[in-house]
Each structure stands twice: as structure tokens, then as C-alpha cells.
Structure 1
Amino acid sequence: MQSPITRYLESVLDDCRALDGGKMADGNAELERADPDAFAVALVTVGGSVYAAGDCDVEFSIQSISKALAYALAVQDNGLERMLEATDVEPSGDSFNEISLEHSTGRPRNPLINAGALAVHSMIRGNSAQERADRVKDLHSRCAGRQLSTNDSVYEAEIESDDRNTAIAYLLKSVGVLAAEPVEVVDGYARQCSVDVSCVDLATIASVMANGGVDPNTGERLIGGAVNRHVLSVMSTCGMYDGSGSWVAAVGIPAKSGVAGAIIGVLPGQVGLAVLSPKLNGHGNSVRGVAVFERLSRDLELHMMHVAPSGASAIRQVTGEDTINVQLQGDLRFAGAESVLATLAKGIDARRGITLDLGHVQAMDDVARRLLDDAVSGLREDGHDVVIDDPHGLMTVLDPE
């Protein structure tokens, strides 16, 4: 059975594909040569389920999306108090490469613009640019669940076009903010931005952050809980540059964009998301990527201000042999419904009947209702005998049985 979530993601790409505005990133020859039609979306839950559509095997450089985990690493290395002395956490209201420094202290406005990212990179422990960049890459690799590699061509193109970052780095040194030599910091930051990832890699990284810094598959803590929470807070207000205000109002998902055309989104407790489409708007964010996130937020009710009254686990218990009885509970939203779908997908074969027991479910939103209805329809089409025990009539409109 193909998941209704995968079919939904495919339909979103189809609907948004016609949006052809924006332009390719300039200033880096490798980014300028990227395929402007590449388009992909991936969603990874805190339960470890992976859903993807489009050009998900296409790799691209992580660029500014690396700023989020680099900041997490620097906070873990130095403590939050010391990092707040190096960079503020206020939205700049400026473009990503503007010189946004506090007049009184010289601090960059936040760690997710270039000035802040350079200050952050200089604070990461390491004896060289290469060592600092390798530590950032290693954290991304651990969160992605595979070893990532640096794209040397992108790195060389970054260095060739890094005059502005070099100027910012020297300015930071002049006001006492930079913790290493400017040329070394710019080199390490260029390496940090040149790591190749796929859309699934980014969504997997986001799922770790959505899970409080813990790998959903291994249970290993990769990012400290308090650090993870702090980074997500900064992403929510500063991650989309001077478009962050409209983003948090319309989409409501802590996010970070990169000039290769990717956007990563983290909804705590639910999902990690990523979209790739290289053409950028005036804020330096992917045109199609923004549109896809708006759709996902609206259709799946993922806005962080959409809060259910209960966060209980959706699955109460699973029993039975010839017939599987899946007993649900609590208030069902997208994440809960997805966990039910994942359970059904793992435990179903042609010899088994299925009963969905909704007796302990108090409420169900429209997204969860649609997902469960689509899954039930798919199972029945595949020849399964599905019975819905729905004493409160939560799915009566969709399932007349």
C-alpha cells in the first residue's frame, strides 16, 4: 500500500510546480549551474518514518542551513551566556549578507545571518579551519544518519566569491567579536557551507531537532535538549532572514533557508521537513519552497500555534493474530494519525483482518480523519477486511459502516 502521505506530497509538488518566479543564486559559479527545475520534498516524523517525493536523490550544498547546527555546536562548546556575548538573537530586518551589528557592542544581530554565522564559526572548538568545519560536518552527518562529504568545487567557488564575508570578518575582528583570524574563519565557514546533502538528509536532520535533539531511530542524544530548544527559538524568529515575520505568521514552523534553494523546517514533537527548489525570491528564500511549506502548514495543520489539548500517544495497544486490533486513544492530529499508518504498514499482510478501535479517542481533526480514511480505503482496495469501531461517530461522515 502506497502511503497517502506520499501521494499527498506528490500532489503538492504538482500543484506548486507551475510557480516559476525568482532567480538562481548568483556569486557562486557552482550554484549558478544548478538545475533550476529540481524540485523535492521530504517529511520525517519523530517516530522515524520517512516520506518523500520529487527529486529526492539530487544532492546540493547545504549552504546557510548549516548555520543552525553550527550554532548548536558553538553553544554546546561555550555555553549560552558566552555565545550571547558574541552574537545577539534579535531579527535583523536586513538581508542575509548585510552588516547588521549592534552599535554599542559590535555583536551581530543574530547567528543566522552571515555576520553572526562567521562569529559563531570562530567560536567552535578546533585548532584550524578544517577541524572546525569537520566538527560541523560530523554533527550534520550524525543527525542525517550517514556520512556526508564536502563538495570541493562548491568550496572553491565559495572562496573565489567570499570578498564580502572576508570584509565582514575583518570588521568583526576590529570590534573584538571574532575568536580566530578572519581568513581562517572565512575558509572554515566556506567549507561548512559546501557539504552536500539531499532533501531526505535535511528532513532527517530536522527530525532529530523535532525530537528534542534525540535520534528517532537510535535513541542517541545528538544535541542537548536546552540547546536544541534555544536554536529552534532563534530559527523561528530569524531563520528566514528579512522574511521571517511573514513566514512565522503564514507558516508557523521554525525554519532555515539556504541559497542553494533548500528550506528546512522543524515542528517540535511532530516532524522534520525539507524542500528543494533553486530559484530564490528577494529575501534569498526558495520561491517554490515557501509555497510548499505554506501548503503543508495549512493542509496538515502544522502551524506551531495549532495546539491540541492533549499530547498522549495515539496508539493505546495492538493485539490479535488472525485479526489485528489497533486501539487508539487521545486527540488525533497529523503526527498521531501518521503513527497509526506506520503501524498498519508494518504489521499487515494478506491473511489478516484489521479492526481500528476508536473507543478511547476523544477528538480527531480533519487531517487525521482524511489520512485514516485514505489508509482504510487503500487497505480495502488491497483486499483487507477492515472494520472501524467508532462509538463516538468520529469518522461517521467518511465511513458509513
Structure 2
Amino acid sequence: MRNPVPELLDEVLRECADDDGGALHDSIPELAEADPDRFAIALCTADGTVYASGDAEHRFTIQSISKPLAYALALADRGIETVLEHVGVEPSGDAFNEISLERSGRPRNPMINVGAVTTHALIGDPEWSLAERDERVRSGLSAFAGRELEIDDAVFESERSVASHTLALAYLAHSQGKLDGEPHDAVDGYIRQCSMLVDVRDLAVMAMTLAGGGRNPVTGEQVVPVWACTQALSVMATCGMYDAAGDWMSRVGIPAKSGVSGGVLGALPGQIGAGAFSPRLDDVGTSVRGEQAFARMSSEFGLHLMHAPEVATHVLYGVVEPDTDGDGLREVQLQGTMHFAAAEAALRELEGLPDDRSPVVLDLTRVVSASAIGRRLLTEAVERMRADGRDVRVTDPDSVLGG
């Protein structure tokens, strides 16, 4: 059988390729020289399979797409309390380069430039040199991508030559006691962070690493803790698309981050990571074709975050009554993924079993995985049934419940 997924991506690419709207980003001279007709999209699955269409081999600088990844690194290195002391999590409603500070002087979130520079300065050990922090960022983003990333020196120098506004933001945050270290060092490091070269496959793998709780699906490396991904995805969902974040979330429904080179990264927790690239940008700095491609994938592939599958109502595969096969056992067969809602539905099935003292077999053969709360609820259900005097046996060939 020929896998239809590549053809679906090709179809999305074709449907969006004729739109010539938008313009190249011209405030960074090197980006104004990009080929406006480049276009590529990619998907990465939870097991590390990557599908791509279009100019997938073309590399471009990551720019602001690095912000949620750097935020996750800062959280992992310094802890959430320290990071929250320096950078907030509220949507700003402002463009990416605005002066957007709370009354305390804290940048409103890590997705706008002033918050991103502040976040960059929190990565690694406070006593590290600029070179040590740069290497931590490079190696950290490389771990997200699953390969060693390089810096585009030409873009770095071009961006650095027009960085006076970013430098002013850094000095403002520093004057409020929210930026660690020297503003010039933080801005230089942040620009190097933005100048790393990636392609759409890298974006898709990076996104799936975030969507998969910090584990790179290709290399298997745990890049950052699960909780850091939860925090980064939450902020990306509400702040990642700047003053268009609400419109993006309602229409596309995939937590995402854009960059002025034309890239877009999207991470749907537990399902897919996605990347798109096309250099023409709309008024808020998002790739016009990239936005259209994400909107089509969301609609046609059923990827909207708020479109929840009805897994909890289908948790019961079946019940084999004691007299059906003559073995005297009542078998309760569960299926699917045991998160809270699914486990709760299973508990009600167990709670409603006849109290006829027939031995109960809880069959988890068809259960593919269980969250921590799912394991806890099912384990407690077994223990409580046994405490009530019932003979309960568990069939768990894949150790879903642990132990």
C-alpha cells in the first residue's frame, strides 16, 4: 500500500501555493534578499516519522520560532519560580517589538522581543560566560531538532547591524531589574539564537519534541522535563502569534510560533509537530502561505486542539459475563488510552458490576497507555474492590499500571 499522507501534504501545498500575498521582511537586510517563492510544509509523528512537501531541503534562520524552545530551556535550567520573577505569561496584545512591560517592569511574556531577550539571559548557570551560554542555547536547540545546528553568520551580522531597538528594550528591562547580566551580551546572544539555520523537517521534529513532553521522537533524548513543555506550550498557545494569537487559536487551534524569516512551528500535544516555510509575511509577521497551510491541515486533518476525540465514551471494549464462556469469571475489557476522563468512565463501569461475588478480571490487553492519574485511579479501583472482599485479577501484559 502506498501511504496517502505525503499526497495529502502535496495537496495542501498546491492549494496554498498560488497566494502571492504579503511581503518579505525588510527590517533585517539579509532577510529582504530571500526567494519569495520558496514554500514547504512538514509533519512529524510521535514515533519520529517525518513527512515533507515542497522546498523541504531549504534552510532558513529560525528567528522568533526559537522563543518557546529557549523558554523551555530556561525553565529547565533555572526553574519556573526564577523564570516567572523575570518574565510573565500574559498575552500582550502588542506587536512583537513593542515596549510591553507590566507595572513591575517585568516583560509580559517570553514570546515578545523584550521577554525573549530576558529569557535568553536566564538560560544556563548565572555565572556562565557569554560563550558558555551561547553553546548551551545552540546545543539545546540542536537537541530539539535532533541534529547539530549552525549559525548563519551573514544573517547574524545583518540583524545585529539594526538591533538598536532590541538593545533599547534590553536596557529598559535591565533598568527594571528583570534582565540578568549585560544588555549588550543578552542581545548578541539572542540574535545568535535567532540566526540558527533550520528547515521545515527540523521545525516539525522540534514541535513534536514539545508536543511529546520533551522527548525527541527521532533521537529518543529527553531534552527538557515534561512540566517545562507544558508551560512552554501553554504560553505559546496564548502568546505565540502576538496580537493575532486569539484569531490563530480560534481558526487554526494548534499552539504555534512564527518567525520573520517565514517559518511557522506548530505543536499539537500528543499528536503531531508541524513546520511550514514561505517568506512572504502578513501585517503581524506571519507567513501568509504558512498560515493557510496550517489552517487547511487543522481543518482537513482534524487537528484543532479543541476538537477532542470521543475516547472516554469508548473505553469499554466489552464485558464477558461468568456464564458466557463457562469459566465463572466476569471479564471487564478496557481499551484505548487511560487518561483521567477515560479512567473515570472505566471506574463507573466497575462500580456498576453486579455484586454476585463472581471473580473479576480487569483486562488491559487493549489499553495502549495510561497517564499518571489513569494508573492511580485504576490501581485504587482494584485495591478498593479487593478491600470489599471481591476476587479481582488484572491482565496487564504491557505493564500499563506499572510494576
Q: TM-score normalized by structure 2?
A: 0.76
1:301 corresponds to:
302
Residue 277 of structure 1 is matched in structure 2 by: 278
1:207-227 Cα shifts (integer Å, max 9, x gaps): 111111112234331110001
Matched, 1:116 2:115: yes
Measured in 1, the distance between the counterparts of 2:178 and 2:55 equals: 41
CA distance in 2, matches of 1:89, 1:248: 16
Q: In the alignment, which residue of structure 2 is the partner of 1:210?
A: 211
Report the 3-state secondary structure (helix = DSSP H, G, I; strand = E; otherwise coil) of the residue aligned with 2:53.
Answer: strand
1: CA distance between counterparts of 2:272 and 2:68?
A: 17
Question: How far 1:138 sits from its partner (Å)?
Answer: 0.8
Say which SS state the counterpart of residue 48 (structure 1) adopts: coil
Higher radius of gyration, 1 or 2: 2
1:93 corresponds in structure 2 to: 93
User: 2: CA distance between counterparts of 1:217 and 1:153?
Assistant: 30
Q: What letter is aligned with 1:192?
A: Q
- Which residue of the partner structure matches residue 351 of structure 2? none
CA distance in structure 1 between the partners assigned to 2:285 and 2:146 by the alignment: 28
Deviation per CA, 1:113-136: give whole Å up to 9, x if none.
000001111111252333222211
Amino acid at match of 2:61: S
Structure 2, gaps ≥5 residues long: 318-334, 338-365, 368-403
Find the aligned partners of 1:186 and 1:218 in 2 and give their Cα distance.
31
* Structure 2 residue aligned with 1:379: none
Partner of 1:22: 22
- Matched-pair contact (CA < 8 Å) for 2:121–2:181: yes
Tell me what 1:82 maps to: 82
Equivalenced residue count is: 319
Q: How does 1:175-214 map to 2 (within 5 A)?
A: 175-214=176-215
What secondary structure, in the 3-state scheme, does the structure 2 residue paired with 1:69 have?
Answer: helix
| Distance in 2 of aligned mates of 1:162 and 1:217 | 36
Equivalences for residues 1-40 of structure 1 within 5 A: 2-40=2-40
Provide the rounded CA distance (Å) in 1 between the counterparts of 2:218 and 2:159.
34
Matches within 5 A, 1:242-321: 242-310=243-311
Given that residues 203 and 272 in structure 1 are in contact (C-alpha distance below 8 angstroms), is that contact kept between their aligned partners in structure 2? Answer: yes
1:251-283 C-alpha deviation (Å, 9 max, x unpaired): 111111100001000001110000001011111
2:162 aligns to what? 161
Contact 2:146–2:218, Cα closer than 8 Å, also in 1 = no
1:194 is displaced (CA, Å) by: 0.4
Relative distance call for 1:283 and 1:228 in structure 2 (3 A) is same
Distance (whole Å) between structure 2 residues aligned to residue 131 and residue 170 of structure 1: 22
Flag the 1:42–1:183 CA change in 2: closer, same or farther, 3 A: same
Q: Contact 2:117–2:190 (CA<8 Å) still a contact in 1?
A: yes
Letter in structure 1 aligned against 2:101: L
Distance 1:2 1:152, change over 3 A: farther
Q: How do residues 231-250 of structure 1 correspond to structure 2 at under 5 angstroms?
A: 231-250=232-251
- In the TM superposition, residue 2 of structure 1 has moved relative to its aligned partner by 4.1
CA–CA separation in structure 2 for the residues paired with 1:211 and 1:107 = 30
Residue matched to 2:325: none
CA RMSD of aligned residues (A): 2.1
Aligned CA distance change for structure 1 residues 215 and 302 (closer, same or farther; 3 Å): same
Q: TM-score, normalised by structure 1?
A: 0.77
| Deviations 1:316-372, CA, capped at 9 Å, x for gaps | 9xxxxxxxxxxxx759xxxxxxxxxxxxxxxxxxxxxxxxxxxx99xxxxxxxxxxx
| Aligned match of 2:63 | 63
Q: CA deviation at 1:139?
A: 1.3
Residue identity in the other structure for 2:70: A
Do the aligned partners of 2:62 and 2:261 also contact (CA within 8 Å) in 1? yes
Letter paired with 2:189: G
Distance 2:298 2:236 in 1: 16
Instruction: State the AA in 2 paired with 1:115.
Output: V
Between the two proteins, what is the percent identity of the paired residues?
Answer: 50
Equivalent-residue separation in structure 2 for 1:63 and 1:133 (angstroms): 15
Q: Give secondary structure in 2 for the equivalent of 1:116.
A: helix
Runs of at least 5 residues in structure 1 that lack an aligned partner in the other structure: 317-328, 332-359, 362-401
CA distance in 2, matches of 1:197, 1:217: 16
**Cα distance in structure 1, aligned partners of 2:226 and 2:336:** 26
Q: Which runs of 4+ in 1 moved over 4 A?
A: none
Distance 1:311 1:208, change over 3 A: farther
Distance 1:300 1:177 in 2: 42
The equivalent of 1:355 in structure 2 is: none
Q: Quick one: which amino acid aligns to residue 89 of structure 1?
A: V
Deviations 1:282-315 (A, max 9, x none): 1111111111110000001101111113289xxx
Q: Is the 8 A contact 1:128 1:184 kept in 2?
A: no
Farther-moved stretch of structure 1 (11-20 vs 136-145)? 136-145
1:147, 1:185 → 2: CA distance? 22
Distance 1:161 1:130 in 2: 22
